[in-house]
Amino acid sequence: MITEAAPRRALVTGASSGIGAATALRLTSEGWQVFALARRAEKLEHLAEQEGIIPLVCDVTDPEQVAGVVETITAAGGIDTLINNAGGALGVDPVGTGKVEDWRWMFEVNVLGTLNVTQAFLPMLREHGEGTVLNVTSTAGYTPYEGGGGYNAAKYGQHALTGVLRLEEAEHNIRVIDVLPGMVHTEEFTAKRLRGDTAAAQKVYAGVEKPLVAEDIAEVITNAVTLPHHVNLDQIVVRPVAQAAQHKVIRKN
């Protein structure tokens, strides 16, 4: 059990790049110890050089690998905060022609990955007495849009999981936070969704003077988890000013 005098400790999944990496770095700048988890060891190398960050290689969709991470973190002193950031989108096909394998991957990483890690760490967070679970979902989790069927479905599922978790874990004094980013310009998300078509990925942000970047979301996450524990920001929708709604984006030449 972590004592009050111990440093704050968090596990951040999907920490190899983008929002996850930015969050790990932002938390350590505030004096936290961070376990940075991702599938790709080579992508964690830059974080391994940062004081306060312990990189861990794990696929969140594999319960056995997650169980191994629990053992490692328990031996290292445990955590009080779990940040489920691992996720992603694949494809922009209509529902009528969407690839089942794409939908399956999105459901497994966004929903089942969050479930695997959360179930594994709930006993530790309950024992702590003031645990926090923060899930990075998406505005796609409550506003459907054309071409978003699989990602919408996965993020709706993760968003619902988060809401149910809050209801079920309040009696254990576990704070559950849902951060729902809108348009965020990161180096990998859209390019991966468009299967490596970087030119098409750049068009998504074309003309948007100030889209959000990973560091903006990391700032929001850090603020949410460092508030006094009795303060729960249930849902935080974060968009750039230029994105007034899912379907309305201001673009300038």
Residue 3 is assigned to a structural domain of this protein: no
CATH number of the domain that residue 62 is part of:
3.40.50.720
- Whether 205 is a known active-site residue: answer no
Say if 90 falls within a structural domain.
Answer: yes
pTM for this one? 0.94
13 Cβ contact partners less than 8 Å away, ≥ 6 residues apart: 20, 37, 38, 60, 83, 84, 85, 86, 113, 117
pLDDT higher at 199 or 177: 177
Query: Which tens digit of pLDDT belongs to each residue from 56-84?
Result: 999 999 999 999 999 999 999 999 999 99
| DSSP-assigned letter for residue 178 | E
State phi, psi for 235 to the nearest 5 degrees: -140, 130
- Is position 4 within any domain? no
> Would you say residue 223 lies in a domain?
yes
Tens digits of residue pLDDT in 162-184: 999 999 999 999 999 999 999 99
Count of the separate structural domains present in the chain: 1
Cα 169 to the center of its chain, rounded Å:
19
Average pLDDT, the chain: 93
Active-site hit among 142, 145, 151, 205: 151
Residues 108-159 pLDDT 10s: 999 999 999 999 999 999 999 999 999 999 999 999 999 999 999 999 999 9
